[in-house]
Amino acid sequence: MRIPPTDFKPYRTADGSYTLRSESWDVFHHSVVGAVNESTHVFIKAGLEAVHGPNVDVLEVGLGTGLNLLLTWIRCLEGKCAVRYTALEPFPLPVATLEELQYCEDLAWPGLHGPFLDLMTCTHDDWNGAEGGMTFRKLPLNVSEIDHEEMYDVIYFDAFGPNTQPELWTLQVFQRMHRALRHGGLLVTYCAKGDVRRTMQAAGFGVERLQGPPGKREMLRGRK
């Protein structure tokens, strides 16, 4: 697996929220049109809120900056659902970088700053209890290393794009994702490339193109 660079720096996106940019890879963690807007549209609206039932098991592939985790936690605190959240992140970001992103302040939840950093920087893979109906665990694993079966209701597939890390967008990976979902479960991703859609279909997903977040025409959602 290609190891991410260490030169990620904060970059303010068009909706005012921050993402991270690597000059050496020339990649961003989120859309430059809006980090919060993209995460909310792709993973919360098309993923979490499209799953029926008050109790949801989430798997995130690519914890990264933790923005999807934080947005999910806020939904729990608002009483909209209860979530057991598993995140895969073999290369966690340093706390100094996370501090610079100011997500909790920008989202008007400053009281979550300390607890959020505690979750993001935990060094064990046990479940962490978090207030407001969410429990969380971070596994230091690559997606190709998990072999979970029918454990999740929704997968946030938020890896770096297929041009950057093609090994994370293979048939074998999506077959693992298909096995990991319960019947009727969803996989959502910002990526809308035709070869990714066809790979998901070959893995057994029913795939639909949805309207993309601001700045993108489409996104993909797969259903088991």
Q: Give the C-alpha distances (Å, rounded to integers) separating 108 from 29, 71, 76, 99.
A: 22, 12, 15, 15
Q: Kindly state whether residue 16 falls inside one of the protein's structural domains.
A: no
pLDDT band, very low/low/confident/very high, at 17 (cuts 50, 70, 90): very high
Q: Does residue 27 form part of some domain?
A: no
Q: Look at residue 45 and tell me if it is in a domain.
A: yes
133: tokens are 């109906």
Mean pLDDT of all residues in 90-113:
95
Q: State the DSSP code for 114.
A: H
Is position 22 within any domain?
A: no
Q: Could you tell me the residue range of the domain that residue 65 belongs to?
A: 33-223
- Is the pLDDT at 216 greater than 90? The verdict is yes
Domain presence at residue 23: no
Largest Cα separation within the chain, whole Å, is: 44
Give the mean pLDDT of 84-98.
95
- Give me the CATH number covering residue 111: 3.40.50.150
pLDDT tens-digit profile of 173-213?
999 999 999 999 999 999 999 999 999 999 999 999 999 99
pTM of the model: 0.96
What per-residue confidence (pLDDT) applies to 2?
76
Residue 137 pLDDT:
96
Structural domain includes residue 75:
yes
Cα distance from N-terminal residue to C-terminal residue, the chain: 27
Whether residue 85 is predicted with pLDDT greater than 90 in this model: the reply is: yes
* Identity of the amino acid at 101: L
Helix (H, G, I), strand (E, B) or coil at 41: helix
* Per-residue model confidence (pLDDT) at position 198: 98
User: Cα-atom radius of gyration of the chain, to the nearest Å?
Assistant: 16
- pLDDT at 33 (0 to 100): 94
**Per the domain annotation, does 13 fall within a domain?**
no
What's the mean pLDDT in 52-64? Answer: 94
CA distances from 160 to 63, 116, 139, 184 (A): 11, 22, 18, 26
Q: How many domains does the chain have?
A: 1
Task: Quote the CA–CA distance of 165 and 155 in Å, as a whole number.
Answer: 18
Tens digit of pLDDT for each residue in 115-155?
A: 999 999 998 889 998 778 999 999 999 999 999 999 999 99
Position 135 in a domain:
yes
